[in-house]
Amino acid sequence: MALRVVFMGTPHFAAATLEAILQAGHSVAAVYTQPPRPAGRRGLELVPSPVQGLAERHGLEVRSPVSLKGAAEQEAFAALQADVAVVVAYGLLLPKPILEAPRLGCFNGHASLLPRWRGAAPIQRAIMAGDRQTGMMIMRMDEGLDSGPVAMEERLPIAPGTTAGDLHDQLMVVGARLMVDALDRLGKGELPLQAQPEEGVTYAAKISKGETRINWAEPAEAVDRRIRGLSPMPGAWCEMDHGGRRERLKLLRSEKGEGEGEPGLLLDDSGNIACGTGAVRLLQVQRAGGKPVAMRDFLQGLPAGVDRLL
């Protein structure tokens, strides 16, 4: 059964679900997304979100309100007479009148195994915490933060070496497929809902700038998880002393290393860096203004005497 859908989302992660909904034959009454943001080297160009770009290519109406709290915006939303709203990484809280407007409710695709990692950065937090599995969940939204009843889930293992970017791409595909399945069941009146357990609630706070700098005095396991959990965006980083000046180095891929030494010391030409305990082997890095390169290529280009990361 085709449903009349309002789609609400912003990044590439959400665009995959919108594409899947359209391919499944549902009618999208309107698309809500964040307004275009400044981009480019000088920040002078306004760039639409990936969801807006996709919606415009399909000739869909796009709305970009800065808030949904006003009566006028809520009335405009209700006037769409949607069967359901689908929300994936939208970026705005939905007040009660919005949640209650669609005939069948609002359903969110969330990239964690709720109630673990409610909030803004579930993919990054799962890797940084050393979780061995995560997944996608479809939940009916309520006024709480990712606290509504769960309709469907699919679990994924977090393999060794996985970065947040890797996991993002895997979950994006799973989430799009799962949401289409959920809408199919919803249209047939066969979508089950189960309340989230009260135990095991954790919150995936937005990544702060202070978390992105690597502290080599931490244990190697924690350093490795931080590097992978923040890759590729916003990116973990450190500094090196290059010719008497500090240069920032972005760290993109790593694994458990070998050796011991003073934290930050480059132990060998394989990219092993000493940590508080143990070592991390860097696999891919990026200099400021440069492209990602394998660590072995980066080391070959280093001048003599650079033997430490700060």
Binding site residue list for (6S)-5,6,7,8-tetrahydrofolate = 112-115
Mark the binding-site residues, compressed into ranges.
112-115
Distance CA 261, CA 69 (A): 55
What are residue 293's phi and psi, to 5 degrees?
Answer: -135, 155
98 close to 77: Cβ distance less than 8 angstroms? yes
For CA atoms 183, 176, 73, 143, the dihedral sign is positive
Per-residue tokens: 235: 């990116």
Contacts of 97 by beta carbon, 8 Å cutoff, 6+ apart: 74, 77, 78
Q: Which of 211, 216, 272 is nearest to 239 (CA)?
A: 216
Q: 21 and 45 in contact (C-beta within 8 Å)? A: no
| Helix spans in 130-279 (H) | 164-187, 220-229
Report helix, strand or coil for 46: strand
Chain position carrying tokens 């590097």: 227
User: E strands of 257-306, at which residues?
Assistant: 272-274, 279-287, 293-294
Q: Smallest Cα–Cα separation from 114: which of 150, 86, 156? A: 150
